[in-house]
Amino acid sequence: MASPRKRLGLIGARGYVGAELIKVLAHHPHFTVDFVTSRTQPGEPVPGLPDLRFEDLDAAAVAARHADAIVLALPNELSHPVVAAVDAAHPQTVIVDVSADHRFDRTWIYGLPEHHRAALHGARRIANPGCYATATALALRPLAALLEGPAHAFGVSGYSGAGTTPSPRNDVDALRDNLMPYALTGHLHEREVSHHAAPVCFMPHVAPFFRGLTVTVSMTFDRPVSRDEMEIRYSEAYAGEPLVKVVPVIPLVREIANHPGAVIGGFAVDEARCHGVVVATLDNLLKGAASQAVQNLNLAFGFPETTGILPWPSP
């Protein structure tokens, strides 16, 4: 006899990531989306879920639903009242927070499955990593033990990464024929990667395409490392990983858009200088957010990890 579906709520699901979550969870065989919240669109139909309408629920009302799982897709610094209310009313609810609010909280599991899979099985509080942080951590971890000093990561993302609130970083006219650097020191994802993977100096940029990102990571090693050793280390580190592909060539953003995983490749070395470079790409809305959140939900409930993810639903 099949087990009953898990009841799930999406909190703050009006943005780009919320739309991707609705797309996959509407057809997930083990979850039923019970409610979807939006402060700005209450009463409007939820695209992709014709039987539901957006609701404007405060923290207590969310907790009163006693959902089996909640995905928080709120802006940073807004999740804490909801978490506190759920903790008090129904602590067994699985919460996946897509914001940055709990990525440095030791009581939450950092939800990068390729590095923390064992801890994610049965987890109840999961902090979904950031998009740049996911790509950079995946690129760094196989060689982190050999680093001599911080790595340097040059990142370029599509403007969907800036969200839907108008700003210069998602202004199509401002971005036309342009590349826009921002937050060149102290970026949140720089601190996140340095905390969870390896020290890094990170330089983000936004470009005039909508989705996807690429990170070029430059590393100095404490001994000479050959290209063959680099490629072997990455291939072994991610062997059997369903959502990470290792390739010998430089991966391109346009090849990863609308795909739920990450691609790592473009290995280059200067052995005389103990210097190596690797490139990682992913879709910032998917492996950088939505598909990783579903991957974490699957692990938390003991479902096959790629359920609902492979293949990702068509745009």
The dihedral sign for the CA sequence 28, 30, 34, 35: negative
DSSP tag of 177: T
Taking each continuous run of H as one helix and of E as one strand, the counts in the chain are 10, 15
CA dihedral 262, 264, 266, 268 (to 10 degrees): 150
Q: Pairing relation of β-strands 213-220 and 262-270?
A: unpaired
Burial (CB count <10 Å: 0-12, 13-18, 19+), residue 129: buried
Residues β-bridged to residue 219: 276
> Cα 193–196–199 angle (5° rounding)?
50
Q: Is 69 helix (H, G, I), strand (E, B) or coil?
A: strand
Residues involved in catalysis: 131
Beta bridge partners of 216: 154, 279
User: 200 pairs with which residues across the strands?
Assistant: 151
Q: Tokens in use for 286?
A: 């998917």
According to DSSP, the residues that pair with 154 across neighbouring strands are 203, 216
Strand partners, 202: 153
From CA 122, how far away is CA 234, in angstroms rounded?
28
Answer for the pair 17, 289: CB distance below 8 angstroms, yes or no. Answer: yes
